[in-house]
Amino acid sequence: MHAPVFAAEQNPAPENALVYFIWPADGAVITGGKFWVRMGLRNMGVAPKGVDMKNVGHHHLVVDADLPPSTEPIPSDRNHLHFGAGETEARIELPPGKHTLQLLLGDKEHVPHNPPVHSKKITITVK
As a whole number, mean pLDDT of residues 64-84 equals: 96
pLDDT for the residue numbered 96: 97
Provide mean pLDDT across the span 74-80. 97
Predicted pLDDT of residue 127: 96
- Is the model's pLDDT at 5 over the cut of 50? no
Q: Which domains, from first to last, does the chain contain?
A: 18-126 (2.60.40.10)
Tell me the three state secondary structure of residue 102. Answer: strand
* Helix segments in the chain, DSSP class H: none
Amino acid at 96: P
- Radius of gyration in angstroms for the set of CA atoms belonging to the chain, rounded to a whole number: 15
pLDDT level of residue 9 (50, 70, 90 thresholds): confident
At 61 the pLDDT is 98
Average pLDDT, the chain: 93
Given a contact cutoff of 8 angstroms between Cβ atoms, the answer to whether 49 and 87 are in contact is: no
Indicate the DSSP class of residue 72: S
